[in-house]
Structure 1
Amino acid sequence: METPVLDQPAAARRAWLGAFAHPAFAVVWLASAIALVGISMVDTASGWLMTTLDLNPGDVSLVHAAATLPMFLFTLPAGALADIVDPRRLILVISCGVVVLVAAFASLVSLDLAAPLSLLLTTFLLSAAWSVNSPAWLAILPSLVPKADLTGAVAANGVAYNLSRTIGPTLGGFVIVHYGLSAPYWMFAATNVVVVAALMWERTPPKETKTLPGERLTGAVRTGLRHAANNPLFRATLARTLAVYPFAAAYWGLLPLIARASGQGAQHYGLLLSAVSAGALASSFAQRSVRRRVDLDWAVALGSIGTAIALALFGVTRSFAVQLGAGFFGGAAWVMVLTSLYVSAQNVLPQWVRGRGLAIFLTVIFGSVALCSAAWGQAAARIGVDNALLLAAIGALLGIPATWGWKLQGSEAIDLTPSLHYRLPQAAEEMSDDRGPILVKVAYRIDAKDRDRFLRSIDDLGEQRRRDGAFAWGVFEDMAEIGRFEEAYLIESWLELMHFRERITNEDRAVEDEIRDMLTQPPQIEFLVAAEPGRRRPAPDAPTGA
């Protein structure tokens, strides 16, 4: 049987279109891009609406607070939720809720019944919906395109976001002037109807059918944090994130002061924001070309250098033309770094924890930018804006060699498919899902000459165990028998033990195979559950013939 081969025109068309050669991605991307424009219009409308309701600067600033607070409160739990339920269905439910919420508030605005409290509450709820949806949107991306087109898909999402931030405010202002303050809200409700329609049409395979009950939300959050702390490849991505964004936050936090120092204030501030967005948009379009020439590590390094150049230019010149160039450069570098880090995170997170891992990734970015923007503001008050920007530029450059040992993972094969080679543990009685904790003990016997090699391998295995849900892990050496070791660790519950079995990947199995090659006899495994006072265990069956 011959293997089907794409004809040259079809192959060329697919190469040119990249991620957009896949209809499911193209349709969902278009719908989400329209919705992002709607969000940007609503942001503009909400800020302007508050000035018509209350001119108190403190109250006006609460709109921004209401929009950013949910990002810190809900992003991580939202990531756990995206892993527990089907992320596509989660987006559908949230989008339907947004349609109802926005239509209700648009009605209040149309009837002149909107008040500062209702505006702040609506802003908070919309931001919460966005925070819950974000990890789910990221989690469904690998189901829309193959891994080879993942970088292009990430870049395309960057194009949609930056394009929306460029045209959304202008379009929102135009709509407000010509059709009234309620019009952006009605239009945003309509864009969410488009998202619902696109996801209803899109029929990519759902997440694998689960044979076990879903994880509990609080336990899922703990497991996600444990996985992030014990996944060395994901830690590398977070380390490279923290080497760039705390320093890039300097120009975001100080940009209004940079614009004021140029002599024109608000007008120049708006143009600088547009220059940053334009640079981000250009960089998004250039990602495919960049990826053909450099790997993810060098892409982040180049983006860090670009960030440092932008910071330095902001710090040494008052020329507005040069500042516009610095803004463009900074926006381009921002997207280059973000896209590279996001692709690495996608490649090292198994599907069962992808939503939580990406939520942690977003939280690190949000947190570092928010906290460090304020910190650079304090630094600027003490040493001056120019010196603070130059100091941030030096920090961005020093971050490159400081974190170069943390390697990012591109599209090279990392087999995160569940191996399912562990047998189900047997219990002498019916076990409830929440019974626990479970103590797992594994006895190994090795040749004495392999001791050091065994301990290195078992340490790697321990990191895998902790990453997949174990805690209180340790390995112990028998004092009475040379070459005998016991590994011990705890699992939160019987249900978590069942999930633990399904999380072990083919990549993990290589370490276990290395350990098995050193054993002089098969390992002995025991499962023990925490004893509960007053609990009666069933009597063992009577021996035959008794």
Structure 2
Amino acid sequence: MPDDPNAQPIADVAAADLVADGLGPVPERVSPFVPLRQPVFRAVWFASLASNFGGLVQAVGASWMMTSIAASPDMVALVQASTTLPVMLFSLAAGAISDNYDRRSIMLTAQGFMLTVSVMLALSAWFGLITPWLLLTFTFLIGCGTALNNPAWQSSVGDMVPRRDVPAAVTLNSVAFNIARSVGPAIGGAIVAAAGAVAAFTINAFSYIALIVVLARWQPPRVERLLPRETLWIAMSAGVRYIAMSPNIRSVILRSFAFGFGGIVVLALLPLIARDLVHGGPLTFGVLLGAFGAGAVAGAFMSARLRRMLSTEALVRLTFAGYAAAAAIIALSTSMWLTMPALCVAGASWVLTLSTFNATVQLSAPRWVVGRALALYQMAAFGGMATGSWAWGQATLHLGPEKALLISAIALLVGAAIGLRYKLPPLEELNLDPLSSWREPKVAVDIEPRSGPVIVTIEYIIREEDVVAFLNAMAERRRIRRRDGARHWTLLRDLTDPMLWMERYDSPTWVEYVRQNQRVTQADAEIGERVRALHSGPNPPVVHRMIERQTGSLPSVQAAAAGTLSDPLVDPLRAP
């Protein structure tokens, strides 16, 4: 909550306004296709479907090519790792960029980069220049483009659809990917079998064109920036700090790493499952991957009903257990007709888990940091996948694919048990719009945006019988202040006047102080209301804003005499 005690309470926001903004109560039964009513989302969705199709055809070609040019099974698993590792390494920087720059331009840059790399991969394969490590290099570079694209694309969903439709939009994005997964790998397997991996790489290169055209034509509304952009390092630090002080998102990140680590085993080892356990060829591999995708599509369409029947935590525990059971069946099966249903269950569990994680993060982060929150979530999920791909490749090398799959099933059950300690929050919609009542105060001292540190103190008069309630409220206030950028937060009690309490914190610069107060959301305002209700002194509480200055040097003394440095910035915290 901002320092301004006159900031508009959340209770004053009309329910009709919330509904109009997509934040209020919604009917219990909502069609999963509602986001497709938005023309921009619909166009991007269909273009993404084509791009996903090409990407999966390329993945089949890369994975199967690796089985023919590399003798070691861990090199096959590294194809998956090389695609997911860049997301773990670069997503936070990409999320910071997406929160500070035009997301459409970022997506166009990423798509153009992936198109260029895909063309180079196709040409290298055509001229017979591909080696195992060169193939991994190309897939790594495509993963880098994905790392840049994903935070901007995921956080743009909230710009394309009303906030209440975000869970449905996230699920539809999963549907698009898994529709492509249902048919793309089977077709990809047929293409590889008939025309070789070069054809698969070429199809992937062409698949980027539709999405590039749609993004080039999209003209999203531009948001006026009243403050200078954060530097990359400061923006990344702010994102990490926000997540570290947000228990709901922390739980999602931990669980997503556990699921990515255990769940990736099926996709990483699927070429070996097709070749060694089911005794098939590239077409069998494509059919099995298609079964995984078909299950994912079915899971996506079941998601709304399951979320009405089960809590978020219960649903995720169920999907962890379902994926573990599927992995165990795949390990023990030698029949394609038994492996395919198990892959369907794995696909459904996969999309239900990841779409639930994604929607929870999107609904738990305000717009100013949503790109970084999604990036950190994806870093955890893809970090788990990259680590798992390597670990299961090593386990396969030493123990065989059957035992690797069985061990992964145990790891997934452990991931489900983690929920006993780190439960996921209910998938609900908080009003995370800015409170928008704080105004930058007028000051009597000349300062620059970079001036600082700025010290803020707020005085409260608290009756003895209200001390416990006050301390509980201030514990939450401390979390919110630190989450939004405050440093060195402390709560002090006067030794001569026990009713006098003082909240103190600082910001590194004046512009960071302004930025911190502008980050307060409608949902945060409840704590501000609780604190104001407990304050029994003059209204509003007395606020002092002061700037720290050094003493002793001649320039400082001269500046102080001129009235430009040493005077405290004192303001009764009333909006000008």
Q: TM-score range by the shorter chain?
A: 0.7 to 0.9
Contact 1:440 / 1:489 at 8 angstroms: preserved in 2? yes
| Equivalent position to 1:443, from 459, 475, 489 | 459
Distance in structure 2 (CA, Å) of the matches to 1:446 and 1:488: 16
**Corresponding residue for 1:83?**
99
Q: Deviations over 1:451-480 (max 9, x none)?
A: 111111011101111111223322122223
Aligned residue for 1:476, secondary structure, equals strand
Length-normalised TM-score, structure 2 = 0.79
**Corresponding residue for 1:491?**
507
**Corresponding residue for 1:285?**
301
Going from structure 1 to structure 2, the CA distance change for 1:370 and 1:101 (only over 3 Å counts) comes to closer
Matched, 1:196 2:212: yes
Matched, 1:67 2:83: yes
Q: Give how far 1:500 is off.
A: 0.8
Distance in structure 2 (CA, Å) of the matches to 1:302 and 1:244: 12
Q: Give how far 1:131 is off.
A: 0.6
Distance in structure 2 (CA, Å) of the matches to 1:440 and 1:329: 55
Q: Give how far 1:222 is off.
A: 0.7
Q: Deviations over 1:265-310 (max 9, x none)?
A: 7677665444322211221233344345445344324323423432
Using the TM superposition, name which of 146-155 and 169-178 deviates more: 169-178
Distance in structure 2 (CA, Å) of the matches to 1:355 and 1:33: 22
Going from structure 1 to structure 2, the CA distance change for 1:120 and 1:232 (only over 3 Å counts) comes to closer
Structure 2 counterpart of 1:392, one-letter code = A
Matched, 1:350 2:366: yes
Alignment of 1:291-310 (within 5 A): 291-310=307-326
Identity of aligned residues (%): 29
Distance in structure 1 (CA, Å) of the matches to 2:346 and 2:550: 60
**Corresponding residue for 1:7?**
none
Q: Give how far 1:166 is off.
A: 3.8
Aligned residue for 2:524, secondary structure, equals helix
Q: Give how far 1:36 is off.
A: 1.5
Structure 2 counterpart of 1:134, one-letter code = N
Aligned residue for 1:480, secondary structure, equals coil
Alignment of 1:266-281 (within 5 A): 272-281=288-297
Gaps spanning 5+ residues in structure 1: where? 1-10
Q: What is the CA RMSD across the aligned residues, in angstroms?
A: 3.7
Using the TM superposition, name which of 55-64 and 486-495 deviates more: 55-64
Contact 1:308 / 1:396 at 8 angstroms: preserved in 2? no
Contact 1:155 / 1:339 at 8 angstroms: preserved in 2? yes
Matched, 1:231 2:249: no
| Equivalent position to 1:523, from 532, 541, 544 | 541
Gaps spanning 5+ residues in structure 2: where? 1-26, 565-576
**Corresponding residue for 1:408?**
426
Aligned residue for 1:506, secondary structure, equals coil
| Equivalent position to 2:46, from 10, 13, 30 | 30
Q: Give how far 1:35 is off.
A: 1.3
Contact 2:185 / 2:287 at 8 angstroms: preserved in 1? no
**Corresponding residue for 2:570?**
none
Aligned residue for 2:369, secondary structure, equals helix
Matched, 1:145 2:161: yes
Matched, 1:391 2:407: no
Alignment of 1:63-462 (within 5 A): 64=80, 66-103=82-119, 106=122, 121-172=137-188, 183-206=199-222, 208-241=223-256, 244-249=259-264, 262=277, 264=279, 272-314=288-330, 321-372=337-388, 385=404, 388=407, 391-392=410-411, 394-404=413-423, 406-410=424-428, 412=429, 414-427=430-443, 429-462=445-478
Going from structure 1 to structure 2, the CA distance change for 1:387 and 1:133 (only over 3 Å counts) comes to closer
Using the TM superposition, name which of 472-481 and 326-335 deviates more: 472-481
Contact 2:191 / 2:200 at 8 angstroms: preserved in 1? yes
Q: Deviations over 1:488-536 (max 9, x none)?
A: 2232333222211210011111111111111112323233445468664
Using the TM superposition, name which of 19-28 and 349-358 deviates more: 19-28
Distance in structure 2 (CA, Å) of the matches to 1:112 and 1:311: 36
Q: Give how far 1:221 is off.
A: 0.7
Distance in structure 2 (CA, Å) of the matches to 1:242 and 1:48: 27
**Corresponding residue for 2:492?**
476
Distance in structure 2 (CA, Å) of the matches to 1:333 and 1:205: 36
Question: Would you say how many aligned residue pairs link Structure 1 and Structure 2?
Answer: 525
Using the TM superposition, name which of 507-516 and 393-402 deviates more: 393-402
Larger relative contact order, structure 1 or 2 (CA cutoff 8 Å, min sep 6) = 2
